[in-house]
A and B are shown apart, each in its own frame.
Chain A
Amino acid sequence: MTDYCKDLEYIKETMEKATKFRSVNGLGVFGAGLVASLGSAFLWRLMRKEFGFAHETWQPLVQTIFLTLAAILVLAVLIIAVSSWRTAKANGENVFGKTAGHTLYNFLLPLAVGAVVALFFLYCGRVRFAFLFSLIFYGLALVNASKFTFNELHWLGLCEIATGLAGMLSMGRRIFRWADSYVHVVAATLDSVLWWATGFGLLHIVFGLWIYFKYNRKTAAK
């Protein structure tokens, strides 16, 4: 009788394995990380230059920051989408299939919520919160979607969340030491750009290469 139990278990396991979306392209993730690194380097330099003049709410810079972030996002999403679409084609996986749909839904839902939260803070001129919250929500989105795809994305998500929280902690430490003064806000905002660069730039570069060497290189060689 335990055989029947094992049968059911096996069916469940196989279904879970079969529904994983396998066509995430490591090089695409790497490329997105590169774009994010360059973009945040640009932002950091721009914001540091304005250090002395910046209003507490960074209102004069908000538009440029928003446009730069939007450009990074569009480019990164395009790189990942096109490269994954090509990998899916090579794997014979349907990009518009159930699996890809499930993955996208589970990924986009937390991300959309995070985008609204980040935009709200950006609109209020609290740029540092926009940077840190976008990291945390992006991490949650990855963890949520990772059930349907590579396990590495689960780890990447956890790392993104950790980076965002570490940024918050470091900001909290500043508040503790210097109170919420103008200098603190400027320094914390510059710090948040660095945390953002770590999360969206460095982590994507590292995980992108990892995924590429683990999964994609084999397929590419075939």
Chain B
Amino acid sequence: MSIIENLNKIFDSRIRLGIMAALSVTDAEDFNRLKELLGLTDGNLASHLRTLEEAGYIASIKKFVGRKPNTRYSITGIGSAAFKEHIGALEKLLGSQ
């Protein structure tokens, strides 16, 4: 069952998959855009973002737009590689059915 070992534990949650999917095709997205895109609440999204950031899969940059703080997230090299590997594992798993 070596194929299943390639499945990343961090990507067990579909929300985290969604975040990674969105960030893998864009340069960077801010918090509100991700919230709107994935249809999540503030707290829910924040906790998943934190998990991904702690794993080093995404990076955040805090900036101010006018007087409002604005946090933008982007995928890291490690995150991109891990995500690709996870998709590959999923595809293999489905292919072996």
A7 near B17 with CB under 8 A, answer yes
The answer to the question of B87 belonging to the interface, with a C-beta cut-off of 8 Å to chain A, is yes
A residues 2-17 touching B (CB-CB < 8 Å): 4-5, 7-8, 10-12, 14-15, 17
* Contacts A18-B25, A19-B25, A92-B72 given; does A7 touch B38 at CB 8 Å: no
| Docked pose: A94 CA to B33 CA in angstroms | 13
The answer to the question of A98 belonging to the interface, with a C-beta cut-off of 8 Å to chain B, is yes
A99 near B26 with CB under 8 A, answer yes
The answer to the question of B37 belonging to the interface, with a C-beta cut-off of 8 Å to chain A, is yes
The answer to the question of B29 belonging to the interface, with a C-beta cut-off of 8 Å to chain A, is yes
In-complex Cβ contact of B87 among A8, A18, A91, A98 (8 A): A8
Nearest CB on A from B49, distance (A): 15
Interface residues, chain A, CB within 8 Å of chain B?
A: 1, 4-5, 7-8, 10-12, 14-15, 17-19, 91-92, 94, 97-99
Residue of A nearest to B14 (CB): A10
B17 near A11 with CB under 8 A, answer yes
Question: Can you show 7 pairs from A to B with CB atoms below 8 A apart?
Answer: A4-B90, A7-B17, A14-B17, A15-B24, A18-B25, A97-B27, A99-B26
B residues 62-97 touching A (CB-CB < 8 Å): 65, 70, 72, 87, 90-91, 93-94, 97
| Docked pose: A19 CA to B93 CA in angstroms | 27
Which of A8, A92, A94, A99 is most buried by chain B, counting CB atoms within 10 A of its CB?
A92
B residues 4-47 touching A (CB-CB < 8 Å): 14, 17-18, 20-30, 33, 37-38
A18 near B21 with CB under 8 A, answer yes
* Contacts A1-B97, A4-B94, A92-B70 given; does A18 touch B14 at CB 8 Å: no
Number of B residues near A (Cβ < 8 Å) is 26
| Docked pose: A4 CA to B97 CA in angstroms | 11
Nearest CB on A from B80, distance (A): 13
B18 near A14 with CB under 8 A, answer yes
B27 near A14 with CB under 8 A, answer no
Residues of A within 8 A of B20 (CB): 11
A7 near B14 with CB under 8 A, answer yes
Residue of A nearest to B7 (CB): A4
Residues of A within 8 A of B21 (CB): 10-12, 14-15, 18
Residues of A within 8 A of B22 (CB): 14-15, 17-18
Residues of B within 8 A of A92 (CB): 30, 33, 65, 70, 72
Residue of A nearest to B83 (CB): A11
Nearest CB on A from B26, distance (A): 5
